[in-house]
Amino acid sequence: MRLRPKAASLNRNRAVYWKNDAMLRNSRLSYGLVAILFHWAIAILFLGQIGLGYLTQATADDPRLQFNLYQWHKSVGFLILLLALLRLGWALSGAKPKPVAGTSVSEALAARIAHSTLLAMTILVPLTGWAIASTSPLMIPSFAFNLVLVPDLPLARSDEAEALWSNIHAVLAYASGILAAAHAGAALYHQFARRDGTLMRMFTPSRNTGPGKRPAP
């Protein structure tokens, strides 16, 4: 008899825990809080980083400012790389939400290709940037946020290698910017023209536990 209130409170705690856990993870119908936070944090940093990268090139007449912008650009780039790797691990360990109802097969395929490419670019673009810093004969150390010395990649240094990685980095970064703009446009079109809730599900964490996903009591 005396155990009853205890058992009830245990069950209540389990229910709260399970509800929170379900909000953190994706379900088959919607994104969880972790995927949503990763998406918006990386999206904002990535788009800002393209602007910052452009500015490093546009400020050549002010070497001091240009140097500072380079250091910020490298630091934010390493942060994006770290977040993108964590996000990839998280995405691989959970469910992927199905396309919203009413999406055609070709639209679903296009979205899948765009998402995978953007995901890959959030890793490849910083890696190619890191390759520029690692091949530059100037050998300027990379101090992420003035706190952590990030070692260079094991690549041979030469002006030619630096120029090659610099071109690859710029092409991938600007091409990703164009793809991200098309991706954002598609999300807005779905939300406001089709009214199918595509954009909103990237803001509202999953509350749907889905059949058979609740752990045994």
- Can you give the binding site for ligand HEM, defined by CB under 6 A? 35, 39, 42-43, 46-47, 49-50, 53-54, 56-57, 73-74, 77-78, 80, 91, 111, 115, 118-119, 121-122, 125-126, 129-130, 132-133, 142, 166, 169-170, 173-174, 180, 183-184, 187, 198-199, 201-202
Given the complex with ligand HEM, which of 191 and 209 has the nearer CB atom? Answer: 191
Contact 183/114 with Cβ under 8 angstroms?
yes
* Distance in Å, CB of 63 to ligand HEM, minimum: 13
Given the complex with ligand HEM, which of 18 and 152 has the nearer CB atom? Answer: 152
How far is C-alpha 116 from the chain's CA centre? 11
Q: Looking up tokens 């994104």, which residue turns up?
A: 31
Neighbours of 108 (CB within 10 A): 13
Given the complex with ligand HEM, which of 14 and 157 has the nearer CB atom? Answer: 157
Helix ranges restricted to H, the chain: 3-24, 33-58, 63-92, 105-135, 159-189
Beta bridge pairs of residue 149: 143
Given the complex with ligand HEM, which of 24 and 170 has the nearer CB atom? Answer: 170
* Distance in Å, CB of 132 to ligand HEM, minimum: 4
* Distance in Å, CB of 21 to ligand HEM, minimum: 19
Rounded CA separation 43/84 (Å) = 10
Given the complex with ligand HEM, which of 27 and 198 has the nearer CB atom? Answer: 198
Contact 26/206 with Cβ under 8 angstroms?
yes
DSSP-derived 3-state class of residue 204: coil
* Distance in Å, CB of 173 to ligand HEM, minimum: 4
